[in-house]
Structure 1
C-alpha cells in the first residue's frame, strides 16, 4: 500500500510540475505578445499615425505594396488590410532579433496576403551587411554611436532584382531602415523610373540625398507632418528631428489628393488657459472642440524636461483615441509636436496628455495649439474598414 501511495505521489508531483511548467511557458508567450505585440486587427491601429494616414490614402484594394523595414509589423498589418484579399504585401526586415516578432504579429493579425523576407534591402543582392543593435529595437546596418561591434551578418537584396524575379511591381513603398534608405533607393532605381511607385521615406532633415535623388527622377516631396512641399532642408520647421516624407511622381499626381500647394484654413488658436491639469498630472482641454469632417494639422506648443516617465498624448473623439504618440515627455515635447488627424464626420475632439505606470513630470507645460484644416482633403473618403 505504501508503495502505491508513493507511486501516486510521484506521478501527481510530476503532473503538477508539468502543469506549472506549461503555464509558465504560456505566461512567457503572453508576455512576449504584450511586449512586442501590436493592437489586435479588430482594434484601431495607432502605429506612426502621420505615415499610416498616407498609407490609408494610397494603398488600394488589389495593390502590390512593399514595407521595407517592417519592424514589429505595425504598418505591415495596416497595409495588408488596405490592399485586401486580392492584394499583396511584401515585407522586409533585416534584424534577426526583430523578424520573429514581426512574423508573430503578422500571423496573429491573420494577414494571409503578407510575405515576410528576412533580408537587408540594399543597393546590390547576394552581399552581406552587418547589423548593429539599436537601443529600442531600431537596429541598423550602420554602426551605433558607441561603436559597438556588429551583432549579426545578414544577406542583402536589391529591390530591382526582387521585382524582376517575382514579377511583383509595387504601387506603394514605405521605407524606414534607419539611415540606409539611400542604399535601398539605388538598388531599385529601375523600378523607380519605370513603375514610379509612391514612396514614404523616413529621413533626417539635414540629409537630402534621398530627396535630391528622387527629385532628379521626377518626384515631388511632401512633409507628412506639415503638408508642405520639401525642396531642400530649409523647408522643414526649424529644430525638427526625424521626418517622414511622401514622394509622388509628377506623372501620377492626378491619381492622388496630394497635389501641393495645399489650401490651409486656421480653425482654432488655443492658449494655456484652454487646458486643465487633472489627476496624476494628466492634461486635456477644458472643453472639447467641434471639428467638421476633414483633415487637420494640430501644431502643439508644449515643453517638458522629464526623461524618466511614460507619457501618451494625442487626440480623442469622446473617449476613443484616434491619434497617439507614446514616449517620455522630453522626447515628445522636442520632436512630436505636429499632429495630423482625419475625421469622417463632425465630432467633438479633445487633446490629451496622460501619464502611465504611475509616472509623472512636473515640468510638462502645454502652452497652446493651433488647429488648421487642409481644405484639399475635406471631401476625401475614409476607409470603409479598420
Structure 2
C-alpha cells in the first residue's frame, strides 16, 4: 500500500512539510515523501506512539540517544515542553536536528558523541552526560547494537533515577544482556514487536523494542 502511494499519489522533492499524524503531527521537517513517506505521514515506528505519549509528560527532561534525522527529538521536545539533549555523532544530521527544532519553536542541544560504557575520545556515557546536563526522566535509545555498552555506562543514572526508557534492540544476545541489566535495576521491560501490517526494512534479526517504565519523576 505504501509503495503504491509513493508511486501514484505522493508529492516528491525535499522541502519543508508538515507531519500529518502521530505525536509529531503538525510539526515541520524537510522531507521528500518519495523517500521518507513514513516520517511525512507520521507513522514511522508507529508501534511506539502510545508509549511515548504515556511516558513523556510536561516538565520531563529527555535524552534522545541516536538522534538521526531528528524525528523523535521533535516530539520529545513537544511532549515534555522542555529542551531535549540529542546524541548524534553523524555530521550529516547534527545541523539538521538543530534547524528542525528551531523552526518549530522547540529547544534542544545536540552532542556529536557516541554513547558507550566509558569515556574515551568522542565516546561518552549516560552518567557523564547526566552530570553535565541533567539527570534524565526519559531516555529514547536507538544506537544500532551498542545498547549494552550504553546501559553499562548508565549505572548511576539507573540506580538513582531509574528513568523511563524506550530502547531499540538489535539482536538476540544484545536483548538478553540488556534485560539482565534492566531487571537488575528494577525494570520490568515490555517487549514490543514491529507490526506486520506496516513493515519497515529491518535487516537485523530480533530488531524490536524494550519499553521500560521507570520511576515517576514526581516521586523520585
Alignment TM-score, normalising by the size of structure 2: 0.71
3-state SS in 2 of match to 1:220: coil
- The question of whether the paired residues in 1 share the 8 Å contact of 2:83 and 2:106 is answered with no
Pick one of 51, 57, 60 that aligns with 1:60.
Answer: 57
Greater per-residue strand proportion: 1
Q: CA-to-partner distance for each residue in 1:107-134, whole Å, 9 max, x for gaps?
A: 333212x212111112222x23xxxxxx
Q: CA-to-partner distance for each residue in 1:153-211, whole Å, 9 max, x for gaps?
A: xx121121111123x11111000011111111111110000001011111135121111
Quote the offset at 1:38 in angstroms. 7.3
Q: What is the 5 A alignment of 1:91-130?
A: 91-112=86-107, 114-125=108-119, 127-128=120-121
Q: What is the 5 A alignment of 1:198-347?
A: 198-204=164-170, 206-207=172-173, 208-225=176-193, 241-249=206-214
Equivalent-residue separation in structure 2 for 1:33 and 1:159 (angstroms):
34
Equivalent-residue separation in structure 1 for 2:153 and 2:86 (angstroms):
16
Q: CA-to-partner distance for each residue in 1:345-377, whole Å, 9 max, x for gaps?
A: xxxxxxxxxxxxxxxxxxxxxxxxxxxxxxxxx
**1:157 paired residue number:** 124
- The question of whether the paired residues in 2 share the 8 Å contact of 1:47 and 1:75 is answered with no
**2:19 paired residue number:** 39
Equivalent-residue separation in structure 2 for 1:101 and 1:31 (angstroms):
17
Size of the aligned set, in residue pairs, is 178
3-state SS in 2 of match to 1:90: strand
Quote the offset at 1:212 in angstroms. 1.1
Residues 47 and 120 of structure 1: CA distance in aligned 2, closer, same or farther (over 3 Å): same
Equivalent-residue separation in structure 2 for 1:107 and 1:72 (angstroms):
14
Alignment TM-score, normalising by the size of structure 1: 0.42
Matched, 1:76 2:42: no
Give the aligned CA root-mean-square deviation in angstroms: 2.7
Residues 32 and 108 of structure 1: CA distance in aligned 2, closer, same or farther (over 3 Å): farther
